[in-house]
Every structure is written in structure tokens, then in C-alpha cells.
Amino acid sequence: MRAVVQKVSGASIVINREISREIGVGLVILLGVEESDSFEDIGWLSGKISRLRIFDDAEGVMNLSVCDVNGEIMVVSQFTLHASTKKGNRPSYIKAALPETALTLYETFIGQMELDINKSVVTGEFGAYMQVSLTNDGPVTILIDTKNKE
């Protein structure tokens, strides 16, 4: 699994040009699922993200997690995170999980994230056309890949 985690002061998502959802201070997580990903990856990734100390404490040092600041989380499925640009100019998505696999892991990840932060998570809609707007705070953007576990 690959996740792009962005600390935001606010974010919104429009799904199929109709449904609108938003969050305030928190994290936007773009989540890409690979065919070889497992439920074990979900626990590790959700735990890592929920404990990331990237919010400022009283001294202005990034020392607090999303839970510490009572922040919100938005999770958006993003199969293009597994794009390969090695050959030519048209990306290949061969590593991205098939929709049946990806949907199950995506939904399980959302459930685990809700458990880890003890609140509901705002989501996009798997496979839908979406427009995401956000104000990256810092800016802070972190890439996490369960295959590297860095």
C-alpha cells in the first residue's frame, strides 16, 4: 500500500460533481492498493499514520499526532499511486490491485483508521470521479509505502 499523507488546514471533495464532503484541520490520505497488499499492511499503515507527529505543539515543534490535535481525516482511493513511468510516457498501472481486491482493502483500511483515531473518517467514493481541494499546511506531505516500512 502506498499513502500520500498531507497535513491540511482544511480539505473538501466533490464526488461525481454532486456529493460534497469536507474536513477541517487534519490529514488527507491518498491511498493506493497493490495486488500483493494484505490485511497486515493495513494495520501497520493505519497505526503509522495515526501516530505521525507532524502537528505543532505549543512551542511550534512538530510533536503532535492527528489524535493529539483532535484532527479529522479524509481518505481517497488513488490507484494512480502505483503508476510506472519506466517505459515511455504513458503510465502503466499494472501493479495496482484489481478493483475487487482494492475495494476490500480500502474499506478495511478506513475501518482500521476509524478505530485508531476513535472517530469517523471522511471518504471519497471508490472508483468515482472526484475533485479534491485542500490547503496543505506547512506544507507537510509524506509518502509511506508498506513495502519499504521506512
Phi, psi at 76, each rounded to 5°: -130, 125
Question: The C-alpha cell of 55 is what?
Answer: 502537528
In this structure, what is the dihedral angle of CA atoms 84, 124, 43, 71, given to the nearest 10 degrees? 120
Verify whether residue 80 is a known catalytic residue: yes
Q: Which residue out of 80, 85, 104, 108 is catalytically annotated?
A: 80
E strand or H helix that includes residue 108 = helix 99-117
Residues annotated as part of the active site = 80
